[in-house]
Structure 1
Amino acid sequence: MRPQVEAFLDPDTETWSYVVYEGAGGHAVVIDPVLDYDPRAGRTCTAGAQRLVDFVKRHNLTVDWVLETHAHADHLSAAPFVRDQVGGRLAIGEHIREVQATFREVFNLGKEFLCDGSQFDHLFSDGETFSVSELKGRVIHVPGHTPADMAWLIGDALFVGDTLFMPDSGTARCDFPGGDAGTLYRSIRKLLTLPEQTRVFVCHDYPGGRREYACQTTVGEQKHHNIHIREGVSEAEFVSMREARDATLEMPRLILPSVQVNIRGGRMPPPEGNGVSYLKLPINRL
């Protein structure tokens, strides 16, 4: 089946979230929901995620899965809020364990923070399949941006997370812990073997004022027009470009709060004695 896809843009972080569904009254999947976060005040808000929840309820959808493409470094996940509101099992790729182990050390979380993925309802492995009523899904491990990135192929719709952007924006950075440009090149080449008419939905878009925000392209458009990895670009050329470009990039504005929350499946750190949760700020660590 060809799923219907409703996209939701968070303009603050330039992140796209999705509801993928059979049709009104059918089953659905939610992908990469965003929690609003004000870093100046340390306050969260669910207004953006509520738009997604309202859509699900308005169309009488049954949510089977709330999927994360990876542990995002640029926004906090609203997955627990969405699950509490409309149901579904929270899932991510099994290599989240590696990311958890890395950042347990970065944030000195101690042994009480478990690096076993138990913060999620299910950990998908490469090649695993799943069903959303009549919709069929397949899991594709696409490391490189981080070790845990997954792409979700649901019908003819491919949700690529941070591997690919729109063709005029290129590809994701690879300088986070565990990232590797050569690995990303090979992951993307694997995706580009899919039929050219396969719809591709990106997690971020950075138009920079040159056009309106967009979220959908195709495998064919990526193969022929992606400015970083179109056909004819060798792995050596890509790695050289990607590493040089990454060396000029600042850390994402919300990386420190985002990673601490997202490796916990979107939950805040446990409250301290006064009932308040606190996020750590490692000095000179990243």
Structure 2
Amino acid sequence: MRPEIQVFFDPVTWTISYVVFDKSGGHCAIIDPVLDYDPKSGRTKHHSADVLIKFIRSKELTVDWILETHAHADHLSSAHYLKQELGGKTAIGKLIPGMQQVFKNVFNLGAEFQPDGSQFDHLFDDGDRFKVGELVGKAIFVPGHTPADLAFQFDDAIFIGDTMFMPDVGTARADFPGGDARQLYRSIRKLLDYPPETRLFMCHDYPPGDRPVQWESTVAEERAHNIHVHDGISEDEFVAMRTARDTTLGMPVLILPSIQVNIRAGQMPPAEDNGTVYLKIPVNAL
């Protein structure tokens, strides 16, 4: 069954979130939802999540899954808030404990945080299939940007997270802890082996010039035109390009707050004895 797809763009973080649903059965999955966060004040808001909630309730949809393609470094996840409001199970790839351990060390998290993936309701293995009403989803391992990245396939549509962007933007960086440009190339070629007409849905768009924001491409378009990884680009050429380019990139604005929340499936750290929640800023650690 071909999925119905509703797109939500957050202009602050350039993030695209999705509601994927079966029109006849009334069930849906949410992919990569955003929690609004002001880094200057440390305040959170639920505007972006509430827009999703309004749509889901207007369609009278039942949320089966809240899916994360990876532990994002550029926005905070609203998965926990959405689960409280709408239900559904949170899920990410089964390799997330490795990322959790890395960042438990970076942030010196206490015994309350266990790097075992238990913060999520479900951990997907490569090739796992799952239901969203009458839709059948499939999890696809696509490591490289991080070691634990997933893509989610529903019929002819694949939600590819941060592996690739629109053809004129290229590919994701691979210099975060555990990232690997060679793995990223192989993951991208795995996606580009799907039929040419397969639709690819991005998690972000950073449009060059005055191009309007876009989020949907195809395998054929990426193979022909992706500026970093079109057909004819070898693995070694890609690795050399990606490695050199990554050295010129600054850290994402929200990497420090977002990772602490996202490895907890969108939950904040526990409040301290004064009732206040704190996010840590490690100095000279990244």
TM-score by length of 2: 0.98
Matched, 1:42 2:42: yes
Does 20-29 or 241-250 show the bigger shift?
Answer: 20-29
Cross-structure match for 1:26: 26
- Assess if the C-alpha contact under 8 Å between 1:25 and 1:62 holds in 2: no
In the alignment, which residue of structure 2 is the partner of 1:127?
127
In 2, Cα distance between equivalents of 1:283 and 1:270: 21
Deviation at 1:208, TM superposition (A): 3.5
Q: Which amino acid aligns with 1:124?
A: F
Give distance in 2, aligned partners of 1:24 and 1:267: 32
Q: CA deviation at 1:24?
A: 6.3
- Aligned-partner residue type, residue 263 of structure 2: I
Q: Which residue of 2 aligns with 1:260?
A: 260
3-state SS of 1:185 partner: helix
CA RMSD, aligned part only? 0.9
Residue 167 of structure 1 corresponds to 167
Q: Which residue of 2 aligns with 1:195?
A: 195
How far apart, in 2, do the equivalents of 1:11 and 1:41 lie?
A: 19
Q: 1:41 Cα deviation (Å)? A: 0.4
Gaps of 5+ in 2: none
User: 1:20 aligns to what SS in structure 2?
Assistant: strand
Gaps of 5+ in 1: none
Identity %: 61
CA separation in 2, counterparts of 1:201 and 1:88? 22
In the other structure, the counterpart of 1:218 is 218
> 1:208 & 1:77 partners in 2: Cα distance?
26
Q: Mean alpha-carbon deviation: is it higher for 196-205 or for 129-138?
A: 129-138
Q: In structure 1, what is the equivalent of residue 148 of structure 2?
A: 148
Structure 1 contact 25–60 (Cα < 8 Å) conserved? no
1:99 paired to 2:95: no
- Measure how far apart 1:25 and its partner are: 5.8
Equivalence for 2:229? 229
CA distance in 2 between counterparts of 1:242 and 1:210 reads 25
1:117 aligns with 2:117: yes
> In structure 2, what is the equivalent of residue 2 of structure 1?
2
Q: Secondary structure at the match of 1:139?
A: strand
Q: Distance in 2 between matches of 1:228 and 1:215?
A: 17
Name the structure 2 match of 1:247.
247
Moved over 4 A (4+): none
Partner of 1:14 in structure 2? 14
The answer on 1:277 being equivalent to 2:282 is no
Whole-angstrom distance in 1 between the partners of 2:236 and 2:105: 32
Distance in 1 of aligned mates of 2:269 and 2:63? 26
Match of 2:87 in 1: 87
Q: 2:21·2:29 contact (CA, 8 Å) conserved in 1?
A: yes
